Amino acid sequence: MFTNDHGELLGDHGLLFKGPFLYDCLIKAPMIMKWNNVIPKGARFKQLTQHVDIMPTLLDYAGVRSPYGVQGMSMSPILHGDMGGGRGYALTEFNCYDWGLNLKAITTNDYKLVYYAHERFGELYDRNADPNEFVNLWNTEEYQPVKQELLKQLLDRVIETEDVLPLRIGEY
């Protein structure tokens, strides 16, 4: 398995290298896997996953249950050809407190919303109509229902990814 932690701008959006942006060119990470008798040669998958899904996938194939508190999910349904497998949305975070930046993004197959903590502005992209993320729809009236739904999904995902408390073993 080969993967990395992020992409590069390489001139996209007139910028180089990386930075405090959550464009697809920065947050999409390639993953190349060779796994005899599991992944068909030349197979390509486009479902949404996250790096936290790697460990549960490997444990799943090893027949081991993921430890309590693991936030990832096995990618085995995707690897077995389930086109509906994967996540409905993926969370991306960029925290750079010394710059005063805390960004969170929720990406679905159709949209991406980027939320800037403590700011009234943000980013909303239609990934089908604008795959290169040039048209920010954050303040576009017709996209406000989409924005509200994505904000709810983002809040749900942020809550889901909070540190978990240890399992209770004592009586109440």
Neighbours of 85 (CB within 10 A): 18
Residue pLDDT, tens place only, 56-68: 999 999 999 999 8
Tell me if 46 is assigned to some domain.
Answer: no
Looking at residue 148, what is its pLDDT?
97
pLDDT > 90: what percent of the chain?
Answer: 49
Tell me if 62 is assigned to some domain.
Answer: no
Tell me if 118 is assigned to some domain.
Answer: yes
Rounded to whole angstroms, how far apart are CA atoms 28 and 64? Answer: 28
Tell me if 22 is assigned to some domain.
Answer: no
* Domain CATH number, residue 114: 3.30.1120.10
Tell me if 104 is assigned to some domain.
Answer: yes
The parent domain of residue 149 ranges over 89-172
pTM, 2 dp: 0.85
Q: What is the DSSP string of 100-163?
A: TEEEEEEE-SSEEEEEETT-S-EEEEETTT-TT-----TT-GGGHHHHHHHHHHHHHHHHHTSP
Residue pLDDT, tens place only, 161-172: 888 777 777 776
Tally of structural domains, the chain: 1
Rounded to whole angstroms, how far apart are CA atoms 62 and 58? Answer: 6
